[in-house]
């Protein structure tokens, strides 16, 4: 079991999710049960513990598809693990597929957040547009690409830019790296939201990624914005954080 | 008065440094592989072998932006017609001056009217944009559009390119039906790709909104 945990509690209550934009609508208020979420994106240092503990070799941590993927490609580390621009200990781990993120989450005693959980943690109960409020992004709030022209070509340390914190204290939920969520991505997922289905369960090759990254502009930093990628994507723009159904230290 | 535009560029083989400039007098394009009439040509010789075209089209980046411009250069289809690929060799491998390569099915490039562009808005491509010529794809994301093209080969085998190796698969190349930031217009626009124009989600969320209000 890993050593570091820095978790916030997001208590039962309403969440405003979605936005009246293509692929994001409708705006909706949902009730979510209490859950816990990593305050910070998973760092390389934290991910290194997972590797050191044999995370890539423990079948039990992986879904069937994930295990197939990791074996087929003989994966032992993230795609950018040896790249000096992305492998500083405090940078968020990048180049992890959805499958690797899922396995890590299981190893850490949790799971990936659903899209609406992620969105609530980022927007707070008031459903603000950005984690910090309504103000347009700037370089003190987030790492992103103004006008889609990147201001830097790699993510910063996971604990940097406190001014951009969400109402729950979650950091960098806009920019730096996208984050994997549990949901599969369908063009009609917003309609599913109206039926209060928290997780889209149908088969889709894509998973929802949230929050934006160093590569994207202002519009993609909004908490309601949705990006999607195949679960095998291991690009340097997607990381993740872990959600938990029980408070840290609680027995299972 | 139009504002000066900053255009994003990912020129991966150079990462954080400016790509080396290319001396156009020394530059030669090689078109080779399984073709009846391979050639190595200077820019002038290329213009004699293949008809030049000019098209106003928008391309899309997987990162969520798009750019419309007047592009001129050569249709990949015309280039291939000039060299006559042999039957059974279905892929085009494009290699840059810096050694970056990408392989695509020939039929897809022709079907999407891919371009080997030399000029943007009447100006020769800058180093950042892929001097002296680059592949442009308009009906899919641009990550297979090799810049600073040096060699074009007709081959039998597919070989994953740089981005495909980290998971930019067939599924990821499809332009997604959500707004992309149009660099030239400074605003978000839905993709204009025909098959996306009437995409389900806008309809559906519009219906849902009406229901709510």
Interface of A with B in 202-221 (CB under 8 A): 205-206, 215-217, 219-220
A150 and chain B in contact, CB less than 8 A: yes
Question: Residue A216's closest chain B neighbor by CA?
Answer: B63
pLDDT higher than threshold 80 for residue A79: yes
Token duo for residue A247: 């408070």
Q: CA B94 to CA B22: how far, in whole Å? A: 17
Residue B212 at interface with chain A, using a CB cutoff of 8 Å: yes
Q: Are B121 and B54 in contact (CB under 8 A)?
A: no
* 3-state SS, residue A72: helix
Euclidean distance between CA atoms A100 and A234, whole angstroms: 9
Q: CB-based contact (8 Å) between B171 and chain A?
A: yes
Q: Report the C-alpha dihedral over residues A153, A159, A163, A166, rounded to 10 degrees.
A: 100
Q: What is the 3-state secondary structure (H, E, C) of A127-191?
A: CCCECCECCCCCCCCCCCCHHHCCCCCCCCCCCCCHHHCCCCCCCCCCCCCEEEEEEECCCCHHH
Per-residue pLDDT tens over the stretch A154-164: 999 999 999 99
Compare all CA atoms of chain B with the CA of A194 and give the residue at the minimum distance.
B208
Report the pLDDT averaged over residues A45-51: 98
Do residues A219 and A22 touch, judged by C-beta distance below 8 A? no
- Whether pLDDT at B211 is above 80: no
Of A26, A230, A237, the CB nearest to B172: A230
pLDDT at B147 > cutoff 70? yes
Which of these, A89, A101, A116, lies nearest to A10 by C-alpha position? A116
Query: pLDDT value at position B101?
Result: 94
Q: Between β-strands B65-75 and B180-182, what pairing exists: parallel, antiparallel or unpaired?
A: parallel
Per the CB < 8 Å rule, is A20 touching B205?
yes
The minimum CA-CA distance between B80 and chain A, rounded to whole Å, is 32
DSSP state of B142: G
pLDDT at residue B203 tops 50: no
State how far the Cα of A141 lies from the Cα of A143, in Å rounded to an integer.
7
Q: What tens digit of pLDDT does each residue of B11-23 get?
A: 777 777 778 899 9
Model pLDDT for residues A166-218, shown as the tens digit of each residue: 999 999 999 999 999 998 887 666 666 666 665 655 556 789 999 999 999 99
Three-state secondary structure call for residue A26? coil
| C-beta atoms of B181 and A219 within 8 A | yes
**pLDDT for the residue numbered B1:** 39
Identify which has the larger pLDDT, B3 or B87.
Answer: B87
Summarised one tens digit per residue, pLDDT across range B66-118 is: 999 999 999 999 999 999 999 999 999 999 999 999 999 999 999 999 999 99
The pLDDT tens digits for A17-27 are 999 888 888 88
Count of CB atoms situated within 10 Å of the CB of A60: 8
SS3 B56: strand
Q: Which positions in chain B touch A79 (Cβ < 8 Å)?
A: 166
Of B7, B16, B171, the CB nearest to A205: B171
């Amino acid at each position: 079991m890993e050593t570091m945990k820095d978790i916030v509690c997001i208590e039962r209550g309403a969440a405003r999710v979605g936005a009246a934009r293509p692929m994001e609508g409708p705006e909706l208020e949902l009730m979510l049960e209490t859950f816990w979420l990593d305050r910070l994106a998973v760092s390389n240092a934290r991910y290194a513990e997972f590797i050191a503990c044999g995370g890539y070799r423990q079948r039990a941590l992986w879904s069937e598809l994930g295990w197939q993927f990791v074996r087929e490609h003989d994966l032992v580390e993230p795609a950018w693990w040896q790249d000096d621009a992305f492998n500083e200990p405090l940078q968020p781990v990048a180049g992890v597929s959805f499958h690797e993120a899922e396995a890590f989450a299981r190893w850490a005693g949790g799971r990936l957040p659903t899209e609406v959980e992620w969105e609530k943690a980022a927007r707070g109960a008031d459903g603000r547009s950005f984690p910090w409020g309504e103000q347009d992004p700037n370089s003190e709030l987030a790492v992103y690409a103004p006008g889609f022209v990147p201001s830097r070509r790699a993510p910063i340390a996971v604990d940097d830019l406190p001014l951009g914190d969400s109402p729950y204290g979650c950091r960098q939920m806009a920019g730096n790296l996208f984050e994997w969520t549990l949901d599969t991505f369908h063009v009609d997922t917003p309609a599913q939201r109206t039926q209060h289905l928290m997780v889209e369960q149908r088969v889709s090759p894509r998973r929802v990624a949230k929050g934006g990254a160093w590569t994207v502009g202002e519009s993609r930093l909004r908490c309601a914005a949705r990006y999607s990628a195949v679960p095998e994507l291991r690009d340097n723009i997607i990381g993740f954080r872990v959600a938990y159904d029980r408070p840290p230290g609680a027995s299972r | 008065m139009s504002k000066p535009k900053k255009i994003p560029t990912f020129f991966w083989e150079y990462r954080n440094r400016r790509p080396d400039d290319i001396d156009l007098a020394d530059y030669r394009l090689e078109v080779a592989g399984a073709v009846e009439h391979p050639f190595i040509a200077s820019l002038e010789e290329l213009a004699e072998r293949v008809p030049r075209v000019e098209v106003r089209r928008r391309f899309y980046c997987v990162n969520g932006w798009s750019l419309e411009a007047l592009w001129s250069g050569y249709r990949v289809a015309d280039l291939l017609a000039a060299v006559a690929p042999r039957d059974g060799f279905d892929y085009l491998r494009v290699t840059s001056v810096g050694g970056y390569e990408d392989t695509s099915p020939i039929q897809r490039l022709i079907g999407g009217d891919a371009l080997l562009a030399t000029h943007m808005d009447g100006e020769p491509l800058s180093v950042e944009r892929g001097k002296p010529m680059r592949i442009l794809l308009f009906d899919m994301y641009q990550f297979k559009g090799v810049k600073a093209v040096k060699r074009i080969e007709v081959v039998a085998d597919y070989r994953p390119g740089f981005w495909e190796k980290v998971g930019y698969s067939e599924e990821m190349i499809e332009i997604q039906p959500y707004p992309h930031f149009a660099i030239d217009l400074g605003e978000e626009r839905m993709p204009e790709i025909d098959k996306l124009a009437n995409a389900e989600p806008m309809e559906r969320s519009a219906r849902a909104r009406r229901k709510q209000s």
